[in-house]
Amino acid sequence: MEERKRPQWSSSIAFIIASIGSAVGLGNIWRFPYIMGEYGGAVFLFIYLLLIFTICILPLISELFLGKFFQKNIVSVYEAIDKKCSIFGWLCIVTAILIPCFYFVVGGWILNYIYISLTDLQVADYTVYFADFVKSPLLQPFYTILFLILTVGITYRGVNKGIEKANNIMMPAFAVILLILAIYTLNLPNASRGLEFMFNPDFSKVNMKMILIALGQALFTLSIGMGALTTYGSYLKKDAKIVRLSYVLAFFDTLLAVLAGIMIFPAVFSFGLEPGAGPNLVFITMPHIFNQLPFGNLISLMFFVLIFFAAITSGISLLETSVLTFIEKFNMSRGKAVLVLTGIISLITIPTSLSYGILNGTALCGFNLFEFLDFATSNILLPFNTLIICLVVGWVIKPSNMLITKRRWCFKIFNFALKYIIPIVLITLMYFGLEG
């Protein structure tokens, strides 16, 4: 069973593109710019960068290492370390099943907005339009399932013909559209106020909560804490240089998030709108702006296609983590694993897509199902899984076995951080995250 021929990336570049595809998603396009604005702009950016390149880079390297070293799915990796640890692998799979359930709902929103941009539908008030859309008992689940089917379709075709190919087409297209839109919005009147908002630091806003928010965002955006990187890492050749690859990945993820901000804020400020609108920023504020621009429909179409590419390439990595596990653990064909998982995910995703409509309520700790899944995965499951990965690599595997560096001082820091610093930081993050 274990000897099934495993797929492999056709090159390191293919791996990098697919990992950037996984990392760059909804987290970068609307969440990052919005919370960056809320938490002091440039100061947040500075702390975020510091966290990414010091703290987060270590679990990132560790996750990739586990995949590359064991060449297995996340559950088998934990089993190979210790049979009793397999529960941690399954917890990653639970996370990998739950994140798509709300992520794909947002994917559905994007598809709907692509449709309205294409059909030149005139919407007078996007606040009303969006509220009606998310309430709709048919349209909302329809678009969610459509997004699911598109993601599943790519994953079904396998690592090289599906995941690699989709990323090779969509990620360069993503970068080109992002650049065009950023240049376009930078040329709007008063664009500089948007840049000031992003890059003019307000140091009075530094506080513990902001640092924790920055850390949570950094983990989510780098796709850490679910085994997605282990999965992608397991398709690497054994001699791949994961430390360098990790830095390249972190660099591009950050660059694209900042570019997304440069695309959004000048436009928002140019129209004198509110930058801290959260999810509404992309689905209400931006369409409102597009409506008033020359060639607004074309700009709107480009904008939502851009977010679609970002979301689906991340969706693929979310799905592939459990697909690979089902293939290898239950000895299933890819087709069957994809089908079974689509069934399981649909069962939760469809009710989730009704969270703002007929299933609206606050039954789950004050949240509706959508908000609950978002909260539980980002604030509890992802940091917990990351904690376990750091502890396992730090204490059980020991970084010395990872042979990632020959420099002793580097290794000492790496070792100390993985064993003590990051676990403490993560526990603090979870504690405050739960406090709300």
Residues that bind ligand TRP (CB under 6 A): 22-23, 25-28, 220-221, 223, 225-226, 228, 314, 317-318, 382
Question: Least distance from C-beta 28 to ligand TRP, angstroms?
Answer: 5
97 or 191: CB nearest ligand TRP: 97
> Are 402 and 66 in contact, with CB atoms under 8 Å apart?
no
Question: Least distance from C-beta 253 to ligand TRP, angstroms?
Answer: 8
Closest of 161, 96, 145 to residue 317, by C-alpha? 96
Question: Least distance from C-beta 406 to ligand TRP, angstroms?
Answer: 31
191 or 256: CB nearest ligand TRP: 256
191 or 393: CB nearest ligand TRP: 393
91 or 191: CB nearest ligand TRP: 91
77 or 228: CB nearest ligand TRP: 228
191 or 337: CB nearest ligand TRP: 337
Question: Least distance from C-beta 314 to ligand TRP, angstroms?
Answer: 4
Question: Least distance from C-beta 158 to ligand TRP, angstroms?
Answer: 18
Question: Least distance from C-beta 100 to ligand TRP, angstroms?
Answer: 9
107 or 423: CB nearest ligand TRP: 107
Output the 3-class SS for the chain. Answer: CCCCCCCCCCCHHHHHHHHHHHHCCHHHHHHHHHHHHHCCCHHHHHHHHHHHHHHHHHHHHHHHHHHHHHCCCHHHHHHHHCHHHHHHHHHHHHHHHHHHHHHHHHHHHHHHHHHHHHCCCCCCCHHHHHHHHHHCCCHHHHHHHHHHHHHHHHHHCCHHHHHHHHHHHHHHHHHHHHHHHHHHHHCCCCHHHHHHHHHCCCHHHCCHHHHHHHHHHHHHHCCCCCCHHHHHHCCCCCCCCHHHHHHHHHHHHHHHHHHHHHHHHHHHHHCCCCCCCCHHHHHHHHHHHHHHCCCHHHHHHHHHHHHHHHHHHHHHHHHHHHHHHHHHHCCCCHHHHHHHHHHHHHHHHHHHHCCCCCCCCCCECCECHHHHHHHHHHHHHHHHHHHHHHHHHHHHHCHHHHCCCCCHHHHHHHHHHHHHHHHHHHHHHHHHHHHC
226 or 302: CB nearest ligand TRP: 226
64 or 191: CB nearest ligand TRP: 64
Question: Least distance from C-beta 228 to ligand TRP, angstroms?
Answer: 4
| Tokens at 420, concatenated | 């003590």
Question: Least distance from C-beta 315 to ligand TRP, angstroms?
Answer: 7
